[in-house]
Structure 1
Amino acid sequence: MDLITFAIPFFLIAVLTELALDRWKGWGLYRLNDALGNLSTGILSRILGLTYKSLFLVIYIPLYQLLQPYYQATGFDWSMSNGWHLALAVLAYDFCYYWKHRICHEVNVFWAEHLVHHQSEDYNLTTALRQSSGGLQLDWVFYLPLLLIGLPAEMVIVAGAIDLIYQFWVHTQKIPKIRWMEWLLITPSNHRVHHAQNKVYVDKNYGGILILWDRLFGTYQEELEGEPCIYGVRKPLNTFDPLAANLQHLKRMAQDAWYTKNWWDKFTLWFRPTGYRPPDAEAAMPVPSTNLKSFQRYNPQIHRARRNYALGQHLCYSAATLALLWYYQSLEIPSLLGAVALLVFGLVVNGRILDNHPLTKYLEPLRLALYCGVLPLLNTQFVPIFSAYIAISALVWGWLAITCKEDTVAVVCD
């Protein structure tokens, strides 16, 4: 089991602790819909990652083997058991991460993937778990320089996991500035800046573990007392559907490439600065940016009972995901793909329930019907549990369809 999968239970304990404190202290950091949207996007990232092979490994390992004579001549010999070697590997990885992260904010096609992490309009520990599904697999190129120092692929993977795990704790609003740390490390304060859409904060503080890179390369911005952070992206997502979250910017670029009459733009807009749109496509399909002076978080009205239903379904998907991450290596490819597809469809429908989308009255019964169709394919020991889940879900959803028609309340109070 990889380090990130191993860390998931600890992440969830930390989230529950912050949530409990939020409710006890009345901080107002958590909204159920946004938190479930973040967690669903994280689940989608993990389960889709089981269905394809890392392009990084496909390219990096053969190149590493090809460069063996160079490593022997230069004396590069890294050892995972050597603590200093691992520390240097993390340092080298974090340097590459800085440039990868920076380019992801500055170039359209890279932003299409990284954007997912910034869509949440709240900022709490669930935001850290909001990760892209990585379908484009473009970031491998930024770690190729690690070949120059002979870093083995397994050490790159471990260093990357350490880098990502470190970043979890900085996604909170309740830890103030830590003066001595602000000069060297990524902290909650300087990472809040990174997630803010205020003009003064945009495209700042790209480091993963070290803020030192930002200070060296001119992208550092301190959190200002007179400028509270407004979280999210300037062109809001406005849905809790995790699949739509991953396709948001990619879909917009594809539409622009289709509608623009300028052939040069059709092929180059993908690699232009983030936010670039061909003038004719923008005129035909304007997408206004958020007015920060009148900013309101996306918070659709939904009946309390439907909210609780969505929470219950999410807990079931989370349990199924943990089981899948634990046992996926024992599954045959068709079974794995089928399990992932059912989970993805469930996450999409659950996100649309939180959106109060009218089509969910058809989509949720369709999802349960599909699950019924899977029953004959299951191991007999799982059939009773799965059957009970489907029956209870169907009964509750039917009751909601009858009783929750007009009466709506806010999901949570801001």
Structure 2
Amino acid sequence: METYGKILLIAMPVFLGLVLLEKWYGWYRGKETVRSMDMLSSLSSGITNVTKDVLGLSIAIISYHWMLAHLALVQTPPVFLTYLIAFLALDLSGYWVHRISHEYNIFWNNHLIHHSSEDFNLACALRQSISVFVRLFTVFLLPAALLGVPEQVIAVVAPLHLFAQFWYHTEHIRRMGWLEKIIVTPSHHRVHHAINKEYLDKNYGQILIIWDKLFGTYQEELETVPAVYGITRPVQTWNPIRINFMHVGLLFRDAWYTRHLKDKFRIWLMPTGWRPADVAERFPVHKIEDVYRFDKYEPSTNRLLMGWTWIQFMLLLLFVSYLFANITSIGSPGIFVYGGFIFLCVYAFTELMDLHPFAWIWELLKDVYACSVLYLTGDWFGISAHAKGLVPSLAAYFILSALITVFVSLQTKKRITALQL
């Protein structure tokens, strides 16, 4: 966890800088592909994802370590060829995990967040799940385990393989010539994120596009079919924590209310989007029928709300950075208490972005939670050892944050009500 946290301390400002650079470039070229609130929602989703990963809040049913120890046919030294084998194994595994996530109801819940943005940009690449608590698909690394690829090789290649999937989430890079035949490009991935019927459930590849061509899921981007992004059942919220659990919530509700015992069990492994006929009739869910005629989610906003949201987000980045830099010294259970604070931060200000009438309650809950930590420990997870005077400053911030959020919420509501009259 400590090593991963230090890597993230470097990666986070790099990713944020690239996201902001893309927003500036779109403005400069007159082709804006990054809406501010959508971008903040995506960045907040990324924060919840990496926080969950750093806290280690998931387990693998079958670990790579176990497979290597019990199933390796040979022992492979960590040479260049070994790293190449590891890369190919991870990429093939990634293809199948990705494909399964799209094709089965229960697994779609773990991936829906990534497709929930109705824009396509670098920020949406950071929309990653927090709803995976049990990892089932380590078994797809069986080829690497059989060949005896060492754990440390997988540990090096895996994060590089993940980070290499960031760059192709953009509309500003068109076709890339002969590379289109080998690697996943922005053109390929625009198809994957599109909800046009011509593009649905295509191009699952992560680095190499050859898997899609091999397994029959490849689709070229068509000049006559402009990609429309999002999901066919739009989430209608900026709150990434809500998004992470809304699909599984629907599955539980449908399983509960359906009158047919068979449907209560089979709903989980039916194709994504399938619902029992009786509950689909009784509890209809909004679905986009014409992808070329629907309104993107964008609640009314103003400069006050936008400015305060940005301030809260930048302060959140500071809090997250402190956690990642001090994981060892904070220790357990402190890191989980801190993680709870991070999730409350995200929930509170994204509820405000949604103009939810009870957003201020979540903000109060966050600030009471934080002030309780200050009161009970007399510190903020050891921060007084780094700089004296920060503890009272933090207390002042949490009090002001509650007051300002209530004010912003009331002012925004008044302005929107006036505009509607």
What does residue 348 of structure 2 align with?
349
Please report how far the alpha carbon of residue 115 of structure 1 lies from its aligned counterpart in structure 2 after TM superposition: 1.2
1:44 equivalenced with 2:42 (yes/no): no
CA deviations 1:291-342 (Å, max 9, x no partner) are 3131211001123201211111111112211221222132222211111111
Partner amino acid, structure 1, of 2:312? Q
CA contact (8 A) 1:110 1:138 kept: no
Q: Equivalent residue of 2:163, what SS?
A: helix
Please report how far the alpha carbon of residue 395 of structure 1 lies from its aligned counterpart in structure 2 after TM superposition: 4.5
Please report how far the alpha carbon of residue 99 of structure 1 lies from its aligned counterpart in structure 2 after TM superposition: 1.3
Please report how far the alpha carbon of residue 51 of structure 1 lies from its aligned counterpart in structure 2 after TM superposition: 2.9
Partner amino acid, structure 1, of 2:152? E
1:106 equivalenced with 2:103 (yes/no): yes
Please report how far the alpha carbon of residue 58 of structure 1 lies from its aligned counterpart in structure 2 after TM superposition: 6.1
What does residue 186 of structure 1 align with?
184
What does residue 60 of structure 2 align with?
56
Q: What is the TM-score with the length of structure 2 in the denominator?
A: 0.90
Distance across 2 between alignment mates of 1:182 and 1:176:
10
Instruction: Provide closer, same or farther for how the CA distance between residues 261 and 398 of structure 1 changes in structure 2, counting only shifts above 3 A.
Output: closer
> RMSD of aligned C-alpha atoms?
2.1
Instruction: Provide closer, same or farther for how the CA distance between residues 204 and 4 of structure 1 changes in structure 2, counting only shifts above 3 A.
Output: farther
Please report how far the alpha carbon of residue 191 of structure 1 lies from its aligned counterpart in structure 2 after TM superposition: 0.6
Instruction: Provide closer, same or farther for how the CA distance between residues 301 and 403 of structure 1 changes in structure 2, counting only shifts above 3 A.
Output: closer
What does residue 123 of structure 1 align with?
120
1:137 equivalenced with 2:135 (yes/no): yes
| 4+ residue runs over 6 A deviation | none
Instruction: Provide closer, same or farther for how the CA distance between residues 384 and 83 of structure 1 changes in structure 2, counting only shifts above 3 A.
Output: farther
CA contact (8 A) 1:195 1:232 kept: yes
Please report how far the alpha carbon of residue 101 of structure 1 lies from its aligned counterpart in structure 2 after TM superposition: 1.0
Instruction: Provide closer, same or farther for how the CA distance between residues 142 and 283 of structure 1 changes in structure 2, counting only shifts above 3 A.
Output: farther
1:383 paired residue among 360, 367, 391: 391
CA deviations 1:162-201 (Å, max 9, x no partner) are 2211110000100011121110100011111101111101
CA contact (8 A) 2:251 2:267 kept: yes
Q: Equivalent residue of 1:294, what SS?
A: coil
1:29 equivalenced with 2:13 (yes/no): no
CA deviations 1:356-389 (Å, max 9, x no partner) are 1111133223322322222122244440331242
CA contact (8 A) 1:90 1:162 kept: no
Kindly tell me the number of residue pairs found equivalent between the two proteins: 402
CA contact (8 A) 1:121 1:297 kept: yes
Distance across 2 between alignment mates of 1:114 and 1:400:
33
Distance across 2 between alignment mates of 1:108 and 1:169:
28
| Mapping 1:206-285, distance limit 5 Å | 206-285=204-283
Q: Equivalent residue of 1:346, what SS?
A: helix
Distance across 2 between alignment mates of 1:124 and 1:41:
14
Distance across 2 between alignment mates of 1:369 and 1:55:
31
Q: Equivalent residue of 1:261, what SS?
A: coil
The percentage of counterpart residues that share the same residue type is 36
CA deviations 1:77-128 (Å, max 9, x no partner) are 130xx23321221112111211111111111111110111110111111011
Distance across 2 between alignment mates of 1:84 and 1:327:
36
Q: Equivalent residue of 2:54, what SS?
A: coil
1:168 equivalenced with 2:166 (yes/no): yes
Partner amino acid, structure 2, of 1:14? L
1:204 equivalenced with 2:208 (yes/no): no
List alignment gaps of at least 5 residues for structure 1.
410-414
Q: What is the TM-score with the length of structure 1 in the denominator?
A: 0.91
